[in-house]
Structure 1
């Protein structure tokens, strides 16, 4: 077994200490600035509550919503004139049982919310949809 030689760094000690004191680089900004993200816990009867996201979408109390399930397990919510459900006075809306069953969305689940205000669309990603993306082990660079 070969042991690498212990060679001290050629950088002056002051520079090494200063590099440790600097703050970490800021987090990367999202690619699209018009996307709003949020998380919430699915409430009783499938209620989704995030006042910040609803305000970003411009959905006020009484806004009618159409809710559809995508094949990948995400739930899409659109503002429409003839929607089945609506935004309530508490700034939440209810995902009907049939859509929750199709998307495997259960009361108490934590969900990722992705709002696209320009398109008047909200995507709800339940745990099974997130597991499809993040659940597989990844190779880690060391």
Structure 2
């Protein structure tokens, strides 16, 4: 049998360049739920899909805290100060909105954990910090 004539890899690399190494994307964590919402009048945040997945029905009482004065954390609590409204949305109090720099019309990331039952609302400033390395890719002028 006659062996095929194939140039050795270094010659192929000189002609075509090195083969790109592709990373395999990791799978998303199934216990996390994400949604996006625009902050409406009176601090209204609509995240119906997230709330429905957690089983938070209208009338569910929630406690509210602000970890590091950057995020809004909500958890079910019998004596909570926030209530899921009949329309299936949340109203973030004005003091909390000011504390985290949240304004009318801002787009927020709403993140929940299925097993732990908490919701985190990420204001734009928090997203800027989380996505700083990705933003650098956009800022490169070709």
Q: TM-score range by the shorter chain?
A: 0.7 to 0.9
- Which consecutive aligned stretches of 4+ in structure 1 deviate over 6 angstroms post-superposition? none
Residue 46 of structure 2 is matched in structure 1 by 49
Equivalent residue number for residue 27 of structure 2: 29
After superposition, what is the alpha-carbon deviation per residue over 1:63-85, rounded to whole angstroms, capped at 9, x for unaligned? 00111111160110111100111
Using the alignment, how far apart are the partners of 2:77 and 2:84 within structure 1? Answer: 12
- The 8 Å contact of residues 39 and 45 in structure 2, kept in 1 or not, is answered as yes
CA-CA distance at 1:86 after TM superposition: 0.3
| Structure (1 or 2) with the greater helix fraction | 2
CA positional deviation for 1:118: 1.1
**2:36 is matched with which residue: 29, 35, 39?**
39
Mapping of 1:50-129 within 5 angstroms? 50-71=47-68, 73-129=70-126
For residues 110 and 7 of structure 1, do their structure 2 counterparts lie closer, same or farther at Cα, with a shift above 3 Å needed?
Answer: same
Q: TM-score, normalised by structure 2?
A: 0.75
**Aligned residues between the structures:** 119
Aligned twin of 2:20: none
Q: Secondary structure at the match of 1:100?
A: helix
Give SS of 2:64's match. strand
Unaligned runs of 5+ in 2: 1-13, 18-23
Q: Do the aligned partners of 2:69 and 2:99 also contact (CA within 8 Å) in 1?
A: no
CA RMSD of aligned residues (A): 2.4
